[in-house]
Amino acid sequence: MNRKSQIQIGETIAVLFVFFILIVVGLIFYARVIKGNIEIEGEESSQLRSVGIAQRVMFLPEVQCSEDNNIIDNCIDTLKLESAQSLMRENEVYYYDLFEFGNISVAQIYPNEVKWSLYLRKADNLRNKIVTNVPVSLYNPVTRRHGFGVLTIETFSK
Amino acid sequence: MDKKAFEIQFNWIFVLVAGAAILLFFTAVVLKQKSLSELSTKAVVIKTIDAIITGAGVSTDTINIVDIPNSNIEVGCNRAAKQYQNLILFAPGLIKGDKLITQTMAFSAPYRATNLLFMTSPQVRYIIIGSNSLAREINKSLPSDLKKEFYESMPEIRNSNNYKVRLIIFENMIDVPRALEKMPDHDVTAVKVNGNNEKGTIEFWEKSGNSWLSKGSSAYIGKQPLIGAVYADTLEAYECSMRNAFSRLNFVTKIYAGRTRELLRRASISGNQPQCSQSYSSALAHLSSISAASSNFGIDSINTIAAASKLLADQNKNAQIHSCTLIY
């Protein structure tokens, strides 16, 4: 092979090398953008999950107020809460499908302070926590009076 | 071989290797991108179904049409694109296309225990045949966007190229429509209803050549589970969702029993309204029979629950008449 051909081959290899370098740089940039998007989507997805769980709790027949089978929105029956507390603790595995890893509690603020813990399931490797507070009306069917409270839903994720 | 010829040959081999390397590189990129795109489509479908299932838990009596990427969603017992622990979803075994029709209804016996979620594709054809009021009511309850047809007597059925055909028969069983004989057996199914809008039995059928093959029978309580039997095309799928609905009813009943026990205790202490105590005490007996019956799904438990529900509704009315706190 003569010297001219050798130089030509060298030039082609150099062009290919630069071409591949540019492609790799482009791919790395693309991967970083995608990774960033995935992280944002992951964050959005855990927030959505948290809102979904909050909605599920709010509309749970186990705690929701009803009058002649008519559902009252944003209202929790305190007598149901008493029963739900022990039932949900005994059937934690069943309710895991609805609430996943989280902590659900109801705190009455007015007329007096009372706290009910409905559900708690934790795992050591879950470090992120999203807290959703929902103001609710707490109905006591015995006194037939409404109190005021906060439903707190904590969801845990990696 | 002279030097010039060797040089030309070497150039060609070099071009071939470099070309192959470039082609290989881009093929790998395209393949990776393809699998990523498929994965992302699956993720969108799973996310959509998850959102539908969450939404179903919070809203009753809704009908939605949801756009999804064109896909085939396999639905089974506690499975819809992904695995669930207790899924109350009535749907055909396969949902094809880029649209989902969803419907929700409350399952009450007599108090709301859960919501039932129904899901199907606009490409599935539903043929309702019957002249009684229940047939008309079921036809009215199904979404208008569904590809549904209602006939009072056996019509002449033509094949309109649907991937699944479901017949809902309220009177005598009919022959397999000739036009549907060539369709795959598992894609032509029928459900025969015997009962009223309170309770009854349902028989599941599947086409076998030019005749029907019975796949077993089950029962329903109320109109909502009957609509579930319209959407679910197999006995197994229907019974799986009903078992899940019953286990939910069991939990909710326990809550109402605890609540009624407490109401009875407080009414007994105050002693002001003996009628209230009487209502609560009777209600407790009915709640305990609903609780016992709802631990299993079957015709017997449906009869027990239907009877106890009626009596419990009477006690709730009694409580209302005597200005007592309502049972539910």
pLDDT of residue B12: 84
Which residue is closest to B40 within chain A, CA to CA? A38
pLDDT digits (tens, 9 = 90+) for B186-234: 999 999 999 999 999 999 999 999 999 999 999 999 999 999 999 999 9
List of residues 6+ apart from B39 with CB closer than 8 A: none
Residues 6+ apart with CB under 8 A from B227: B90, B103, B105, B116, B118, B138, B141, B142
A71 shares contact with chain B (CB less than 8 Å): yes
Is B19 at the interface with chain A, CB within 8 A? no
Count of other CB atoms within 10 angstroms of residue B190:
23
User: Closest to B251 (Cβ–Cβ): which among A23, A55, A91?
Assistant: A91
- Listed range (A26-35, A130-139, B11-20, B252-261) with the worst mean pLDDT: B11-20
B90 or A6: which leads in pLDDT? B90
Residue A155: is its pLDDT beyond 60?
Answer: yes
User: How many other CB atoms are there within 10 angstroms of residue A23's CB atom?
Assistant: 14
pLDDT tens figures, B262-316: 999 999 998 878 999 999 999 999 999 999 999 999 999 999 999 999 999 999 9
Res A1 pLDDT > 80: no
Query: Quick check: B2 pLDDT over 70?
Result: no
Tokens 């071939």 belong to B16
Interface touch A97/B85, C-beta < 8 Å: yes
Between CA A60 and CA B262, with CA B266 as vertex, the angle to 5 degrees is 30
Q: B182: which residues sit within 8 A by CB, 6+ positions away?
A: B159
Quote the minimal CA–CA distance from B176 to chain A in Å: 41
Cα separation, B159 vs B210, in Å, equals 15
Mutate to test the interface with A, among B33, B46, B251 (most CBs of A within 10 A): B251
Q: Could you tell me what percent of chain A has a pLDDT over 70?
A: 99
Q: Is the pLDDT score of A9 beyond 90?
A: no
User: What average pLDDT does this structure show over A48-58?
Assistant: 87
**Percentage of residues in chain B having pLDDT higher than 70:** 98
Region at B282 (left for phi over 0; alpha for psi -120 to 50; beta for the rest) = alpha
B133-180 per-position pLDDT tens digit: 999 999 999 999 999 999 999 889 999 999 999 999 999 999 999 999
What is residue B58's predicted lDDT score, i.e. its pLDDT?
86
B7: pLDDT strictly greater than 80: no
pLDDT tens per residue across span A82-125 = 999 999 999 999 999 889 999 999 999 999 999 999 999 998 88
Residue B76 has pLDDT above 80, yes or no: yes
- Residue boundaries of the structural domains of chain B: 42-235, 244-321
| Token pair in block for residue B325 | 């706190």
Strand order in the sheet with B82-83: B82-83, B79-80, B62-76, B94-108, B112-120, B89-90
- Chain B residues in contact with A67 by the CB 8 A cut-off are 326
Give the per-residue pLDDT at B208: 96
What pLDDT score does B8 carry?
73
Question: Given CB atoms, is A142 within the 8 Å cutoff of chain B?
Answer: yes
Closest residue to B258, CB basis, from A67, A83, A96: A83
**pLDDT reading at B3 higher than 80:** no
> pLDDT tens digits for A29-44?
989 998 999 889 888 8
Going by pLDDT thresholds of 50, 70 and 90, the confidence category of residue B1 is low
When the pLDDT of each residue in chain A is averaged and rounded to a whole number, the result is: 91
Residue whose tokens read 């919501």: B115
ipTM beyond 0.95? no
